Every structure is written in C-alpha cells, then in structure tokens.
Amino acid sequence: MCGIVAYIGQQEAYPILIEGLKRLEYRGYDSAGVALLNENNELNVYKAKGKVSDLEAFASSKDVSGHIGIAHTRWATHGEPNQVNAHPHVSQSGNIALIHNGIIENYLSIRKELEKRGFTFKSSTDTEVLTNLIEDVQQSEHVDLFEAVRIALNHVVGAYAIVVLEKGHPDQLIAARKGSPMVIGIGDGEYFIASDATPIVGRTQKVVYLEDEQVVKIKLGEELHIKTIQDVEAMPYVQELKMNLDSIEKAGFDHFMMKEIYEQPTIVRDTMRGRLNPEANTVRLGGIQQYEKQLLYADNIVFVACGTSWHACLVGSYLIENLAKIPVKVEYASEFRYRNPVITPHDVVIAVSQSGETADTLAAIQLAKEKGAVVLGICNVIGSSISRATDAGIYTHAGPEIGVASTKAFTSQVTVMVMLALRLAELKGSMKDEERAAFIQELDRIPEKMQWTLDHSGHVKDIAEKYKDVRNMLYLGRLQNYPVALEGALKLKEISYIHAEGYPAAEMKHGPIALIDKDMPVVFIATNHSTYEKVISNIQEVKARNGKIIAIISQKDVLARKMADYVIEIPETECLYSPLLALAYHIAVMRGCNVDQPRNLAKSVTVE
C-alpha cells in the first residue's frame, strides 16, 4: 500500500522523484504528491487526485526546483482519495513535510490530544496527525528533528515507513520504519529512499534495508546515522542491489502483465537454477537445509498465505501429501491469526508471499513463532519483511512483478512447491527412485513446454472476443487443477471485473450447476490425469444444460475436444496456467480495463 520515494543530493530532485513514483505506482494509485525545498528555503508541495501523470500535469507550470524532495503515491486507508488527503502532509507551522506508508492505529486519540494543545487538521488522515505529533515533540522538548521523530514514534501504534523533510535543512532527511518496507540507496554524494528498490535501480547498487523500529538521519557529507526508536545506536549494513533496469521496464509489451506472463519460462528456469539437478535426479534447497528434519517429522506442515499465494499453497499441499506423505494444512493468514489455531513446536509453518510485506501473513508468522513452531518462508522479494521475519526460507527468484495481478510469481511459487515436495519425498523415501527421476526430468522440461504454450496461444484472443461481455464465468478443475481453477477465476475477476468462481469440478452438481444456462461459459481444466474421465462427465453435465465450454486440454485429447465449444491445447504436462492468464488478460484489455492497475487493488497489502 502506498509508495514513497525521496531524494537528496546534487541533482534536481523532481525528475528523480516522478520517475521513482511511476515505478512504485503499482503499490497504490489513487492520488500522488511531492514536496520540494528550493534554493530560497521555500517548501513547495503539490498534490493531485489520480495517478502520477495527473500530478505531473498539475505541477507542470509550477516551481519544481530543488535538490531535496519527498514524494508519495497513495492507496487510501484513512480518508477518501482526494487532494487534501494526499501526501506529503505539512505540519501546522509549515516547517515539516512528511510522507507515510502504513497505518497509525491510535491516530484518533493522538489527534484529540493535539487538538487540545491547539493543533488543527486539514485532512482526515493518520499521517497528518503523525506530522503534527513530531512537530509538537520538537517544540515542547526542544530537540532536533531526528530526536523528535524518534520520540514521537514511541507514542505510535501501527505500521509506518516515513520520510520527513524540514525547512532550513536542505541537506538532511529523516526516515523511519516499522512493519512497512524501506530501502536507502547510497550514491556518490546523494541518497535515494524508497519503499522498494525499483526507484533505485540504475542509480546506485549500494543499498541499506532499514530494520523495524529504526530511525535514520540521512545527511549529505555524513554516513547514515541509524538508531532504534528505543535510542540504541545501530550500524548500517550496506548490501549490493542485484536488480537491473530491464527487469522493471515493459520491454515492448503493452502491459507489465503480458510481459510477466511471457517471462514465465525464464523465471521457472531461474527458480530451479542451482536447485534442480536433472543429471543426478536431485533437488537441493539450500535455504531450508538445516530445517529438513523438522519438515520431515513435522506433525503438520502448515501453509499460511493470502490470495494467489494461498492458491500456490493449495497446489503445494496436494503435492507434498501425495509425493512425500507428510500431512499439510493450508490456512488463510487473515483467519489463522485470529482463530486461535492449534499449532505446536512439532509443526512447521511456511509463510508464502510474493511481496514479503503482506500484513496478515506477517501477523500469522508472529503467532506461529509465539506458539513455538519453526517458521519458514517462500518469498519473492529479497530483504522483505517476511523473508526477515522467518527462520529460513526459499526465494522464488521471479524478479520484480509490477502488474498488480500476480502471474509469474504464482508460477514460481508452484515451481518451489514441486521442488519442495520432491526433496521431501527423497528424504522420506516415499517415492520410487525411477518415479522421482521421471518427475524431475519432466520438471526440467517445463520451461520449454511453457514456451510452446505461449507460442500457440494466439487464438485465446478470439475466445476472449467471444466472451468479453459475459457477466459470470465458472472455472472447474480437479486435484491440483482445482487451485489453478481458483486462480484463473481470481485473475478474471480482478482485472476484468467479471464475476467468476473456481470450484473442484465435482462440486458443481452440489450447487453451482443451478447457474448453468446458454449464457454461462465454463472453463474446464481437462488435462490428462487420473480424474480425466470424471471431468469428462462434468463437461457432459454442462453441455446437457446448454452451457458454453472452454476446455484446456492436452494435445492428444479426443473426448473433451469433441464436446467443447473452444479448446486451448497444452503439451502433455501440467503447464496450464498460462492460457488462463492470457484469457483473463485479453478479456480485460477488450473491456478497456487497466490491466496492470485494476481498481481498488494494490500490489502489496500492508494493512489488514
């Protein structure tokens, strides 16, 4: 939720901030703003409802000079998305400007206190309250901004990544974080601060990830000065940023989503690199090696995740139980954290998250730790909160995912799930060697087969054209195709706003069958595996009620092909996710929807 970016150095800040905001726009895009301190010590604040391009248009004839500035793109939590509620917020005296990602939970009680002390508020945001709280501390305690921010944050309950700029201090920014991410890029005589590394890529490779409850003074000509909010000094840990510019640009595609769909074969290779050894028929997962015994003897492996990542967990549960014979539970992190689950030190909890910042998943990790379980992570973003909160983990290596709807990240998560199941099966001795070897060989061929599927999916656009105006759609599959059906339905609803549901195919007759008529398209995932015959019966049931059938089938299929109105072929394997993505994508484009930034959504859900 929300993207923050800040700059201090010798260059003009404004173009750097705007470019940074555009790269962060996937985090929120209902309003944007910028604050700049010019050479005459004037603080210029410009805000606009809408996207970063609206802010640019608004500021086009204004003074945007200055070598220091802060900027924000918002996903509203407190107060409607409008110009007044947009960040940066300025303190009552006009001396301090602040940007914030997160939620201050006790802002109402602080606001009441500040009102008693003479402060008035223009917006309905928690952020303006925090800005004035810092000013109040500064004035009443007679301390500098660094100290005022530190003291003020001790009064705050909630999550924050903030950057604060002060008039009269053109060489200094103060930043802090708790529960919301923040990275500081160290350039040559300049600093870049952002919610994630994307605005920093191509500018410097030296970065520091701020830890929870740390405050930092970023001053030109000085080293970073980091303290905890409890006033304990901390050393900055400088790391090398491995991302490159290509990975965050569209590379000729109309949308990031399409680019990311086409990246799947490459990222599956990247996810397997150094882990899958098809010569020796082995899988090695270095990140969790020291916890393999716990996994093997766990009473339960418990997956916690949200949304698409939850679907990947469901695939994981089918695979691990089937191949490694270890009991697996799959939990929505948001339910798990509140339902007082039975978790013991004999369980291993695995948190799965693309962004590594999802608030519910972080809370679930915390709970599992309190209950004494080992907690592992499967995460895409290196250095993210979840990767740091877990005891150990496996990175998915999908690269930055900019499209708000998750695509390649799911594919990489499923790839990790397959490798994890195979590794556990090897340790447990639950699969015959030749059976496991065949699985590993097949996994190694998946990128090629995915490429084939992408190369032969042109006609998905025609199917999309046919069904782009429907109001409902059903997705049905069995076994591990069931989570894929859920995921296909989620993709369609989130980017094209068509209502869609995913079900295990056999559940259809327990209710959803009542919906079937000539206007209801049903997507069947009818690839060739153990329940194929049963899925064929389900197709017949839909056909008998005049439903329209789109079937994802294996190349050699005969039966489903005859019954379906449209088919999408895939090679004899399980790489069936891409056609569903392509279908959702084309329908959304044809309906004129914003594919990369669907309404009401944000890439990183750092609030409950």
- Please select the residue that binds ligand F6R; options are 73, 195, 198, 354, rule is CB under 6 A: 354
**What is the nearest approach in angstroms of ligand F6R to the Cβ of residue 436?**
29
Q: Is-catalytic flag, 603?
A: yes
Count other Cβ atoms within 10 Å, centred on residue 126.
25
**What is the nearest approach in angstroms of ligand F6R to the Cβ of residue 294?**
23
Best CA proximity match to 325, nearest among 445, 223, 426: 426
Catalytic residue (one of 2, 306, 379, 575):
2
Distant-in-sequence, close-in-space partners of 458: CB < 8 Å, separation ≥ 6: none
- Please select the residue that binds ligand F6R; options are 126, 494, 557, 569, rule is CB under 6 A: 494
Residue showing the smallest CB distance to ligand F6R in the complex: 307
Single out the segment in contact with ligand F6R by CB under 6 A; choices: 18-26, 245-253, 302-310, 587-595: 302-310
**What is the nearest approach in angstroms of ligand F6R to the Cβ of residue 395?**
13
Complex with ligand F6R: residue 271 or 361, whichever CB lies closer: 361
Chain-centroid distance of CA 381 in Å reads: 9
| 309-338: contacts with ligand F6R (CB under 6 A) | 309
Q: Is 606 in the site for ligand F6R (CB under 6 A)?
A: no
Single out the segment in contact with ligand F6R by CB under 6 A; choices: 43-51, 256-264, 352-360, 516-524: 352-360
Complex with ligand F6R: residue 536 or 584, whichever CB lies closer: 584
Chain-centroid distance of CA 105 in Å reads: 23
Q: Is 77 in the site for ligand F6R (CB under 6 A)?
A: no
**What is the nearest approach in angstroms of ligand F6R to the Cβ of residue 594?**
14
**What is the nearest approach in angstroms of ligand F6R to the Cβ of residue 353?**
3
How would you classify residue 174: left for phi > 0, otherwise alpha for psi between -120 and 50, otherwise beta? beta
Positive or negative torsion for Cα 289, 293, 294, 296: positive
| 367-406: contacts with ligand F6R (CB under 6 A) | 405-406
Q: What is the C-alpha R_g of the chain? A: 26
Single out the segment in contact with ligand F6R by CB under 6 A; choices: 145-153, 307-315, 513-521, 556-564: 307-315
- What is the DSSP pairing of strand 214-219 with strand 225-228? antiparallel
Single out the segment in contact with ligand F6R by CB under 6 A; choices: 240-248, 301-309, 475-483, 544-552: 301-309
Of the CA atoms within 13 Å of residue 412, those in its CB half-sphere come to: 31
Q: Is 414 in the site for ligand F6R (CB under 6 A)?
A: no
Q: Is 578 in the site for ligand F6R (CB under 6 A)?
A: no
Catalytic residue (one of 178, 408, 491, 603):
603
Q: What is the spatial distance between Cα 241 and Cα 175, in angstroms, rounded to a whole number?
A: 20
* Surface-to-core class of residue 342, CB atoms within 10 Å of its CB (0-12 exposed, 13-18 middle, 19+ buried): exposed
Complex with ligand F6R: residue 181 or 571, whichever CB lies closer: 181
- Please select the residue that binds ligand F6R; options are 308, 390, 396, 481, rule is CB under 6 A: 308
Count other Cβ atoms within 10 Å, centred on residue 415.
26
Single out the segment in contact with ligand F6R by CB under 6 A; choices: 66-74, 110-118, 348-356, 584-592: 348-356
Complex with ligand F6R: residue 98 or 489, whichever CB lies closer: 489
Q: What is the spatial distance between Cα 561 and Cα 568, in angstroms, rounded to a whole number?
A: 9
Order of all β-strands in the sheet with 68-74: 43-49, 31-37, 68-74, 3-8, 191-194, 183-186, 206-209, 238-240
Q: Is 597 in the site for ligand F6R (CB under 6 A)?
A: no
**What is the nearest approach in angstroms of ligand F6R to the Cβ of residue 103?**
16
Complex with ligand F6R: residue 257 or 324, whichever CB lies closer: 257
- Structure-token match 């009991």, residue found: 327
Single out the segment in contact with ligand F6R by CB under 6 A; choices: 47-55, 119-127, 253-261, 305-313: 305-313
**What is the nearest approach in angstroms of ligand F6R to the Cβ of residue 162?**
22
CA-CA distances (angstroms) from residue 168 to 3, 43, 68, 589? Answer: 26, 10, 12, 49
- Residue 407, helix vs strand vs coil: coil
CA-CA distances (angstroms) from residue 608 to 302, 335, 358, 361, 510? Answer: 21, 11, 8, 9, 33
Where is 594: in which H helix or E strand?
A: none
Q: Is 355 in the site for ligand F6R (CB under 6 A)?
A: yes
Q: Is-catalytic flag, 306?
A: no
**Angle 577-590/408-428 helices, nearest 10 degrees?**
170
Distant-in-sequence, close-in-space partners of 197: CB < 8 Å, separation ≥ 6: 183, 185, 207, 241, 243
Complex with ligand F6R: residue 398 or 440, whichever CB lies closer: 398
Complex with ligand F6R: residue 125 or 355, whichever CB lies closer: 355
**E strands, 471-547, in order:** 472-477, 499-504, 521-526
How many residues bind ligand F6R (CB under 6 A)? The answer is 14
Binding letters toward ligand F6R, positions 266-285, x by CB under 6 A: --------------------
Residues that bind ligand F6R (CB under 6 A): 306-309, 353-355, 358, 361, 405-406, 490, 494, 605
Question: Which residues are annotated as catalytic?
Answer: 2, 603
